[in-house]
């Protein structure tokens, strides 16, 4: 087959969705398929340009996106969609493909529209809650763990206030736009020939909150991880610091619960260093709290894929404080693949990866997370048992070759149905 992957991000500098798309592309290529990759780049000069990564040709589409709240989202959605749709149609006319697969929020609706125009099957992967939440996280307040029960006008007002600060009244007129934006996304998603939810939690929320998808095929297929390659990189990596250490790896943002990191290690009386690897809007506040703490907390910043493998490979435990309904964390999958013992908050799709007391420890509060960190620090046998079970679970459920084979079968089913 020839497969067009429309993706929001792609290596080398990207987050989990970009690396998951890369693993899918690499797995499909290994199975003999030809891959075309198109990636929009909001906020960059208009026009298309090509780059290469690991012998993949990536067609980038630059589009305008002013750095203003709500206005930027309009340019990344309603203004981007027709431009990207036409770009994909033109690409298919230039080099015909058998299926178009949208990978995330910016690219899914244009991929579906372009595939319908070209009369070929479309697949869309939903990696977070973008079809049912304007902010993609289902959190309606920045305090606590409160989840949004639904996008009514009243609930959107509660969303707007903490996100807009003192100027929140000025944002209230945007609520009709926000509701329309979600409605358009769900209607567009319903036109896909198949939707892939990466976790059981994502699938359940789509069924409950997006009735437009009632007649759409919905498969649960996790993000692929090349376990063999990851372990090879990890085995070749030198320890980034001497001695045992705890690790946080990922975005530093409210929905990731990173504001609790310092509190957790203090309550746990952790006598190992905590390496905070990543960047994001919470970075400055975490760094400030770390300076005032009596614990050894080291702000590492963003690192590339090779350095990420090194930090994971030598970590003595991973702390995962995510407070939002996590879709399916790539960090948790990779840590499990390397046998790193995990203390995590029980949110969203996390139980698909971590079974409490079997492949890691799950808690529901920062205090409980601190207790689990303390427990893991004190019990080396527990760390080894959880790590070994996690390695086996990832091999069975998330290894790239098995996951890619499931996606390939889905493609073949849709192509056969179309014919």
Q: What DSSP string runs through 359-380?
A: TBEEESSHHHHHHHHHHHHH-H
Q: What is the DSSP letter of 174?
A: G
The yes-or-no answer to whether 2-224+399-418 and 227-397 have a common fold is yes
> Tokens 């789509």 appear where?
206
pLDDT tens-digit readout, 301-332 = 999 888 999 999 999 999 999 987 888 998 99
Of residues 123, 119, 166, 152, the one with CA closest to residue 3: 123
Q: Which SS3 state, helix, strand or coil, does residue 297 take? A: strand
Torsion of CA 345, 260, 248, 342, to 10 degrees: -30
pLDDT of 156: 83
CB atoms inside a 10 Å sphere around CB 271 = 10
Nearest 5°: phi and psi at 347? -135, 140
pLDDT of 306: 86
Q: What is the DSSP letter of 98?
A: S
Q: 288-297: which pairs have CB atoms within 8 A and are 24 or more residues apart?
A: 289/262, 290/262, 293/262, 293/265, 293/266, 294/266, 295/262, 295/265, 295/266, 295/270, 296/272, 297/261, 297/262, 297/265, 297/273
> Tokens 């206005």 appear where?
71
CB atoms inside a 10 Å sphere around CB 235 = 10
Edge-to-edge strand list for the sheet holding 274-277: 297-301, 274-277, 246-249, 317-320, 342-345, 361-363
pLDDT of 141: 61
pTM listed for this prediction: 0.86
**Domain boundaries in the chain?**
2-224+399-418, 227-397
Asked if 345 and 363 touch (Cβ cutoff 8 Å), the reply is yes
- Is the CATH number of domain 2-224+399-418 3.40.50.2000? yes
Asked if 20 and 127 touch (Cβ cutoff 8 Å), the reply is yes
Asked if 177 and 70 touch (Cβ cutoff 8 Å), the reply is yes
Of residues 332, 352, 356, 146, the one with CA closest to residue 254: 146
**Structural fold of domain 227-397:** Rossmann fold (3.40.50)
**Which region holds residue 360: left if phi is over 0, alpha if psi is between -120 and 50, else beta?**
left
Asked if 234 and 312 touch (Cβ cutoff 8 Å), the reply is yes
Torsion of CA 407, 413, 415, 417, to 10 degrees: -150
Give dist(CA 182, CA 160) in Å, integer.
Answer: 15
| Series of mean pLDDT values for 10-residue runs along the chain (419 residues) | 97 88 96 97 93 96 88 91 97 96 97 98 96 84 62 80 76 87 95 97 94 96 92 93 96 90 96 96 95 96 90 97 88 96 95 97 96 98 98 94 96 94
């Amino acid at each position: 087959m020839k497969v067009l992957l429309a993706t929001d991000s792609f290596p080398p500098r990207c987050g989990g969705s970009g690396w998951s798309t890369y693993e899918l592309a690499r797995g499909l290529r290994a199975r003999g398929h030809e891959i075309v990759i198109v990636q929009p780049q909001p906020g960059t000069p208009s026009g298309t340009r090509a780059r290469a990564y690991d012998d993949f040709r990536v067609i980038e589409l630059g589009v305008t996106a002013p750095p203003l709240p709500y206005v930027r989202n309009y340019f990344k959605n309603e203004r981007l969609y027709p431009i990207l749709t036409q770009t994909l149609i033109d690409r298919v006319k230039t080099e015909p493909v058998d299926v178009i697969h949208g990978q995330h929020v910016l690219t899914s609706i244009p991929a579906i529209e372009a595939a319908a125009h070209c009369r070929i099957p479309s697949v869309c992967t939903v990696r977070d809650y973008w079809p049912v939440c304007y902010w993609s996280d289902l959190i309606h307040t920045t305090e606590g763990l409160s989840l949004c029960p639904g996008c009514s006008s009243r609930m959107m007002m509660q969303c707007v206030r903490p996100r807009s600060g003192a100027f929140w009244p000025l944002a209230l007129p945007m609520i009709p736009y926000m509701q329309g934006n979600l409605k358009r996304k769900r209607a567009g998603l319903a036109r896909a020939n198949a939707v892939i939810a990466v976790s059981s939690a994502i699938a359940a929320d789509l069924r409950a909150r997006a009735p437009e998808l009632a007649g759409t095929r919905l498969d649960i297929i996790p993000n692929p991880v090349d376990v063999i390659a990851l372990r090879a990189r990890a085995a070749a990596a030198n320890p980034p610091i001497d001695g045992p250490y705890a690790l946080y790896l990922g975005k530093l943002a409210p929905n990731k619960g990173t504001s609790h990191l310092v509190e957790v290690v203090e309550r746990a009386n952790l006598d190992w260093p905590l390496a905070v690897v990543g960047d994001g809007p919470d970075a400055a506040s975490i760094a400030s709290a770390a300076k005032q703490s009596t614990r050894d907390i080291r702000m590492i910043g963003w690192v590339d894929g090779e350095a990420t493998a090194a930090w994971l490979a030598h970590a003595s435990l991973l702390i995962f404080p995510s407070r939002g309904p996590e879709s399916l964390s790539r960090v948790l999958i990779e840590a499990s693949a390397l046998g790193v013992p995990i203390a995590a908050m029980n949110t969203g799709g996390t139980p698909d990866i971590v079974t409490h007391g079997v492949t890691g420890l799950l808690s529901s509060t920062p205090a409980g997370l601190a207790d689990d960190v303390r427990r893991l620090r004190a019990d080396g046998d527990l760390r080894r048992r959880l790590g070994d079970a996690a390695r086996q679970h990832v091999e069975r459920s998330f290894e790239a070759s098995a996951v890619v084979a499931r996606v390939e079968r889905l493609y073949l089913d849709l192509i056969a149905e179309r014919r």
